[in-house]
Amino acid sequence: MAKTIDKVFRNLRLPDGTPSAIAVAQGKIAHIGTDIAPEAGTEVVDLGGQLVVPGFVEGHIHLDTSFYGDAWRPHVPYTAGFNVRERVEIQHRNMAAAAPMDQRARNQLDLCIANGSTRMRSHVMVDASVGLKSLETIAAVREQYRHLIDIQLVAFPQSGILSSPGTADLLDAAFDHGADLIGGLDPVSFDRDSKGHLDVVFGIADRRGVSVDIHLHEPNTMGIFSIEEIAARTSALGMQGKVVISHAYGLGDVPLDTVRRTADTLAKAGVAIMTNAPGARPFPPVMELRKAGVTVFGGSDNIRDSWWPYGDGDMLGRAMMIGYRSGLLTDDELGAAFDMVTAAGAKALGIEDYGLRVGAAADFVTLQAAHVAEAVVAVPKDRSVYRGGNCIVRDGILEPVTLKR
């Protein structure tokens, strides 16, 4: 403990339930253990035996399209099964009548932060229909919230790339307007040109030196084909650990032997998979993927928007949902579900200063639970959130100081 300690948190339990204490210096964790003896004058916070876990990682969200905090908008059903193009059209109509985007984004961020998220990746529409306006709006909101949460922004071609003339140039320009990653959308089923679509996505990634996160709703063997193409591009460009496939529904549609073969391909290419364990449809078998060495992590995806009316911004609840839908029952399995909204999410997002370890940012959440397994199934709500060792949420309520923009 060479650094001067600013604050000591005592009477807490680590994720496995072990009693401990945490010392914080300059917003970083300086020491973890029961042997901390604070000097006179050091602030000491007694956490009353609560469980302390790392801040949650919201791995996939859409800050520009949520209606949370806006007027309730009844869901418009699909006319003939799941259809991305149809849903995009409904979304455009809804967005035209929605409250200002910055206001809706702040509502959603307040919700997620109050539930314990301290890191986030948001996809933001960049296409010929909206240009760079949505990205610029969300980038400005990100700046307002920089003291509360770290946010990565993905330039997301919601209307396709090749089927939306001018979008490729806008995606490239997005990195001069706040974007951090390049996105993509269903290369085969939406743009109907896998090679052309991925040429644009990976071309920009290579030229700009950025990571990739592609929405892939494609089912069955079509989805597997796209996964294999993305993995091949990743390996060819040496981008292992810098590519994510979000949703990857096809992995939930195919036989187990195909899943295992594809999982091996993903692991070798270093491509991660994001799932939100969506209702009413198959999704990737998360434990099979993890067994093969694939990084699997979670995200809320849409919260009360044109795609569905659900979503509460609670990543601990998302871990429970992933575990429930995946049939995860043992303490180790529940720990895996928790990992998907914490350490695995941080790994997939390339976050290095994360976790309950010396040198990491002192971003953590306190919970009324004995250990992680109980937290995942109980989803306790009266939680407090610390950012750099400072309390920003107390008992589920944002502290007043955090609301100053």
Considering only CA atoms, which of 154, 176, 165, 159 is closest in space to residue 64?
Answer: 154
260/361 same-domain check: no
Give first-to-last CA distance, the chain, whole Å: 35
331/206 same-domain check: yes
36/73 same-domain check: no
Would 2 be classed as within a structural domain?
Answer: no
* Integer angstrom CA distances of residue 298 from 284, 289, 320, 337: 12, 13, 11, 9
User: Is pLDDT above 90 for 356?
Assistant: yes
Residue 12: in which H helix or E strand, if any?
strand 7-13
DSSP annotation of 102 reads: H
CA distance 343 to 351: 9
34/87 same-domain check: no
142/119 same-domain check: yes
| Tokens 């009693």 found at | 19
3-state secondary structure 174-236: HHHCCCCEEEEECCCCCCCCHHHHHHHHHHHHHHHCCEEEEEECCCHHHHHHHHHHHHHHHHH
User: Which whole number is the average pLDDT over 344-366?
Assistant: 98
CA distance 91 to 69: 17
User: What is the model's pLDDT at position 152?
Assistant: 98
Mean pLDDT, all residues of the chain: 95
Q: What distance lies between CA 99 and its chain's CA centroid?
A: 24
Q: Starting at the earlier edge strand, list the strands of the sheet with 384-387.
A: 28-32, 19-25, 7-13, 43-54, 364-367, 384-387, 390-394, 397-398
User: What is the model's pLDDT at position 97?
Assistant: 82
Would 276 be classed as within a structural domain?
Answer: yes
User: What is the model's pLDDT at position 166?
Assistant: 96
**Phi then psi for 297, rounded to 5 degrees?**
-140, 175
Domain boundary among the residues 332, 348, 364 is at 348
Domain that holds residue 362: 7-55+355-403
Domain boundary among the residues 315, 332, 348 is at 348
pLDDT, tens only, 226-257: 999 999 999 999 999 999 999 999 999 999 99
CA distance 140 to 342: 26
| Confidence grade of residue 402 (pLDDT, cut at 50, 70, 90) | low
Beta bridge partners of 8: 23, 44
pLDDT, tens only, 43-102: 999 999 999 999 999 999 999 999 999 999 899 888 877 788 888 888 888 888 889 999
Would 91 be classed as within a structural domain?
Answer: yes
CA distance 372 to 332: 10
User: Which whole number is the average pLDDT over 372-396?
Assistant: 97
CB 244 within 8 A of CB 273: yes
The CATH number of the domain holding residue 17 is 2.30.40.10
Would 62 be classed as within a structural domain?
Answer: yes
239/106 same-domain check: yes
User: Is pLDDT above 60 for 404?
Assistant: no
Considering only CA atoms, which of 167, 243, 176, 235 is closest in space to residue 205?
Answer: 243
Q: Where are the beta strands (DSSP E) in 14-55?
A: 19-25, 28-32, 43-54
pTM of the entire predicted model:
0.96
43/119 same-domain check: no
**% of the chain residues with pLDDT over 90:** 88
User: Is pLDDT above 80 for 2?
Assistant: no
92/136 same-domain check: yes
Residue 35 one-letter amino acid: D
Find the range with the poorest average confidence among 77-91, 271-285, 287-301, 319-333: 77-91
- What is the token pair recorded at 386? 């610390």
CB 298 within 8 A of CB 117: no
Domain boundary among the residues 348, 366, 389 is at 348
325/360 same-domain check: no
Residue 274: in which H helix or E strand, if any?
strand 271-275
Would 1 be classed as within a structural domain?
Answer: no
pLDDT, tens only, 167-215: 999 999 999 999 999 999 999 999 999 999 999 999 999 999 999 999 9
272/370 same-domain check: no
